[in-house]
């Protein structure tokens, strides 16, 4: 744990006039933050001033002498806190994508203060009394206003607004401590990821690596400056290394480091943090009247209960386990065919799966990548959005950027009306947390003017050597489409109230727009147009395209098992009420996996000590199942286009935009899906998509 002097967020600023956050609206293109002018020392006074302003706004709303109504209470709450939102959106976007020791120190100080501030609002008895007194029927509220009122009441109630005073005090203490723990978890994980490199200094160490991977490991070494080639713990490097390296000993070392992140002892070990996080979440759930944290989280989701989520996971687990066992036998046979006598292990699976894919489908990852340059895949994502929703994308150069890698596109509707601004940040770097995500510097709404969104997609692709185009694997291309689907969910939002904007939907519905968008990447019509060789511009040969698509369900037993195991462990942990000192994280995880007969040759996609989805914050806690829940939806939803006979069918696309991509949280998730599809989905399209159907 880093020792530092925490910044005093209550300190007065000596240079308010020079602070970019002290100005009104930024006089920058598209109202972007003036990134080049913002320095770490600006955040502490900016947060202090914004918190003070928001506290005054809340006090005015809560103490209003007028009778409570929607306008003077709910709408007033929606208008409040704009200065704080502006500071926080910039700060937390940058702590994820381009952090520094200075920003990390501020983050450790600001996270608990923001938690206390939020608790002071949701646990304010005067404010809760005003909200509870609003009568939607007497006021004649429209559908969107009724939805905002309902979601506001739900938010306050789930934060503890109607608890007894002593319980409220404890709820606030828990929220503050969880903010501290989640921040430390993420920073520990980043430190572990940055603290490991595997040097590849001779030709023997590079055995089996294709040219694109040699280039990527050389580029990674160039940034470090000591070795000729290195493997880091960036997924875009370590996964292809595990696929192609013929050095079994090096694969084992790399895999060990990858799966032991957050579990190496010392200051960055996350196991103690997890035990405390799980205990505090369980305590909070009990205070709110729930049997477990999982029951609390799922009460406000499409699944509605842990039983429903676990039922889906079990329905998928059984066929996935059978499929994985078949795959394991074929891989072990390949090991024997090579004259080896070792038993297949987890660090071998990807390597032999690639060999099997070549044998069964005549498909080589290195053969595919030249047809998937980053630029071409970006354009494929844009063109798909243009054909579905009539959007236009124009790259703009002279705009503020938080890092030189960032690119920006102005987004317009078919009639030229402004939609928003899209930012792309595609390359891995040590200051960026791992993974891929979508976020917003500004969200769409109309309550405070016609506010256009500024959406960012952040990736961690391995950068090609200087002067060469970056080539993507098909999985990388799928990730880009996935995050761009989230991006469209933010860009196309068409609501009045900030609370309902964009991706602010049920956790097990939020992955529908992203996972659905992946389907278009796999369509021959899209690949024929956009999968072109980076040197010649020639389209992917038809024979290769057919082999690529024929292999879509290859290795899906492995992929489904590694994901579903993570989701089951997440849910099992959060159904537990283990105390802070009573939870042995590795033992709990091992026992949970034993009970579901987890194959030893496959590891969870995210082991608990580095499971940032569920421990860097509450985001996906007891909710990692939601990717699979949303996949049931997306597989069924794409069938709507197939049934229409056109993957860009205009009327279907129009319904999709109205009820899914553009609707924010205007409706309950089940109602929204039914409005688009005419019915709720079945699991069969999912099993078919993954090749798991009987």
In order of 105, 392, 464, 653, the CA distances from 502 in angstroms are: 31, 19, 33, 18
Q: Two tokens at 570?
A: 């997440």
Secondary element (H or E) of residue 158: helix 143-158
Q: Name, in order, each residue with C-beta under 8 angstroms of 108's C-beta and a sequence gap of 6 or more.
A: 2, 4, 6, 180, 183, 184, 187
Residue pair 570/614 in contact by the 8 Å Cβ criterion: yes
**Cβ proximity of 420 and 453 under 8 Å:** yes
Radius of gyration of the chain (CA): 25
Which residues are designated catalytic?
A: 483
H helix or E strand, kind and range, residue 420: strand 418-427
**How many residues are listed for the chain in this entry?**
694
Pairing of the two strands 454-461 and 437-442: antiparallel
C-beta separation of 392 from 412 below 8 A: yes
The position carrying tokens 């009306």 is 417
Q: Which of 531, 516, 520 is nearest to 635 (CA)?
A: 516
Max distance between CA atoms of the chain, in angstroms, equals: 84
Residue environment code for 299-311, b if the CB has 16+ CB neighbours within 10 A, otherwise e: bebbbeebebbbe
Identify whether the C-beta of residue 570 lies closer than 8 Å to the C-beta of residue 309. Answer: no
Q: How far apart are the first and last CA of the chain?
A: 50
> What CA–CA distance (Å, rounded) separates 47 from 110?
8
Query: What torsion do the CA atoms of 35, 38, 44, 45 make, to the nearest 10 degrees?
Result: -120
Q: Cα(323)–Cα(321) distance, rounded to whole angstroms?
A: 5
If 0-12 CB within 10 Å is exposed, 13-18 middle and 19+ buried, where does residue 140 land?
Answer: exposed
3-class secondary-structure state, position 325: helix
Beta-bridged to residue 437, according to DSSP, are 458
Could you tell me how far CA 233 lies from the centroid of its own chain?
18
For residue 479, CA distances in Å to 94, 112, 185, 209, 437 come to 21, 32, 24, 23, 9
Distance CA 422, CA 343 (A): 48
Pick the closest to residue 106 from 262, 2, 17, 261 (CA basis). 2
Asked if 422 contacts 490 with a C-beta cutoff of 8 angstroms, the reply is no
């Amino acid at each position: 744990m880093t020792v530092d002097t925490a910044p005093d967020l209550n300190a007065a600023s000596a240079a308010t006039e020079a602070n970019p956050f002290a100005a009104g609206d930024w006089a920058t293109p598209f109202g972007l933050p003036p990134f080049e002018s913002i320095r770490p020392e600006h955040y502490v006074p900016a947060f202090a001033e914004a918190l003070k302003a928001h506290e005054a706004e809340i006090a005015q709303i809560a103490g209003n002498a007028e009778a409570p109504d929607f306008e003077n209470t709910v709408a007033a709450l929606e208008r409040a806190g704009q200065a704080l939102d502006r500071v926080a959106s910039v700060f937390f976007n940058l702590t994820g994508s381009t952090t520094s020791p200075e920003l990390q120190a501020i983050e450790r100080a600001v996270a608990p203060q923001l938690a206390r501030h939020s608790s002071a609002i949701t646990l304010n008895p005067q404010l809760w009394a005003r909200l509870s007194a609003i009568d939607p029927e007497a006021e004649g509220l429209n559908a969107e206003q009724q939805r905002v009122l309902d979601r506001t009441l739900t938010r306050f109630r789930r934060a503890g607004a109607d608890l007894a005073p002593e319980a409220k005090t404890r709820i606030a203490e828990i929220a503050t401590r969880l903010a501290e723990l989640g921040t430390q978890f993420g920073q520990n994980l980043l430190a572990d990821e940055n603290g490991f490199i595997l040097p590849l200094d001779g030709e023997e160490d590079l055995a089996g690596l294709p040219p694109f991977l040699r280039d990527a490991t050389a580029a990674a070494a160039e940034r470090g400056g000591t070795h000729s080639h290195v493997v880091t713990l960036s997924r875009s490097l370590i996964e292809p290394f595990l696929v192609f390296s013929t050095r079994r000993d090096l694969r084992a070392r790399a895999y060990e480091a990858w799966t032991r992140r957050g579990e190496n002892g010392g200051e960055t070990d996350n196991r103690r943090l997890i035990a405390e996080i799980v205990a505090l979440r369980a305590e909070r759930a009990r205070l709110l009247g729930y049997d477990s944290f999982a029951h609390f989280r799922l009460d406000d989701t499409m699944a509605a209960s842990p039983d429903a989520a676990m039922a889906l996971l079990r329905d998928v687990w059984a066929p996935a386990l059978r499929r994985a066992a078949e795959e394991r036998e074929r891989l072990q046979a390949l090991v024997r065919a090579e004259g080896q006598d070792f038993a297949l292990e987890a660090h071998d699976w990807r390597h032999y799966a690639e060999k099997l894919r070549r044998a069964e489908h005549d498909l080589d990852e290195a053969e595919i990548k030249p047809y998937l340059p980053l630029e071409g895949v970006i354009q494929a994502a844009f063109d798909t959005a243009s054909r579905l929703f009539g959007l236009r994308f124009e790259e703009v150069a002279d705009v503020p950027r938080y890092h030189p890698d960032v690119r920006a596109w102005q987004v317009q509707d078919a009639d030229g009306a402004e939609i928003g601004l899209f930012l792309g940040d595609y390359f891995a770097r040590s200051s960026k947390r791992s993974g891929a995500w979508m976020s917003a510097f500004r969200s769409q709404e109309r309550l405070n003017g016609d506010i256009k969104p500024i959406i960012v997609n952040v990736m961690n692709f391995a950068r090609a050597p200087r002067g060469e185009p970056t080539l993507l694997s098909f999985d990388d291309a799928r990730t880009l489409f996935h995050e761009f689907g989230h991006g469209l969910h933010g860009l196309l939002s068409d609501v009045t109230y900030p609370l309902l904007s964009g991706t602010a939907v049920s956790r097990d519905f939020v992955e529908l727009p992203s996972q659905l968008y992946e389907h278009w990447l796999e369509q021959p019509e899209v690949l024929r147009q956009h999968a072109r060789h980076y040197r010649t511009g020639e389209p992917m040969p038809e024979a290769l395209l057919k082999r690529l698509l024929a292999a879509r369900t290859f290795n899906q037993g492995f992929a489904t098992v590694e994901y579903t195991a993570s989701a089951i462990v997440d849910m099992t942990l959060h159904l537990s009420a283990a105390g802070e000192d009573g939870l042995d994280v590795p033992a709990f995880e091992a026992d949970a996996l034993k009970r579901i007969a987890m194959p030893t040759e496959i590891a969870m996609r995210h082991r608990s000590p580095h499971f940032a989805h569920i421990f860097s914050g509450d985001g996906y806690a007891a909710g990692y199942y939601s990717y699979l829940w949303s996949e049931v939806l997306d597989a069924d939803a794409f069938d709507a286009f197939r049934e229409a006979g056109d993957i860009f069918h205009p009327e279907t696309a129009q319904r999709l935009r109205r009820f899914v991509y553009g609707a924010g949280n205007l409706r309950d998730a089940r109602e929204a899906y039914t409005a688009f599809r005419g019915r709720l989905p079945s699991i069969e399209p999912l099993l078919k998509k993954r090749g798991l159907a009987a």
